[in-house]
Amino acid sequence: MDLKDVAMQQKDRDLLSALVGEFLPHTAVWVFGSRIKGTSLPYSDLDLVVFTNPEQQQQVSLLKEALEESNLPFRVDVLEWNAIPESFKETIKTKYAVIA
């Protein structure tokens, strides 16, 4: 799946893609959770997982800050793949969309 499959307006997809591209270029980023499963409400949060390395910690922080300050009409939770439990990784892998 890709970003077009995520339950959100196109203008929000465009903004999300731009921010991810600005702060984490050439980094894998997935959307998971209710917005990809089709169970979200209009203001449900958006769940992201980023595949970063320790050297990218500042960029992850800057992305989180930019998302908080953006005009997106919902909260965005950003998780780092290496910091989540294996069982949660397996859940994420069942259904996700690739942003980058």
CATH superfamily of 3-98: Beta Polymerase, domain 2 (3.30.460.10)
Q: Which of 12, 14, 47, 77 is catalytic?
A: 47
Which residues, including other chains, have CB under 8 Å from residue 55's CB and lie 6 or more apart? none
Beta bridge partners of 47: 32, 77
In the residue annotation, 45 being an active-site residue is answered as yes
Q: How many helices (H) and strands (E) does the chain have?
A: 4, 4
- pLDDT per position as a tens digit, 10-64: 999 999 999 999 999 999 999 999 999 999 998 899 999 999 999 999 999 999 9
What residue spans define the domains of the chain? Answer: 3-98
pLDDT confidence of residue 100: 74
Q: Which of 2, 12, 14, 45 is catalytic?
A: 45
The values of phi and psi at residue 9, to 5°, are: -70, 155
Tell me the Cα Rg of the chain. Answer: 13
In the residue annotation, 47 being an active-site residue is answered as yes
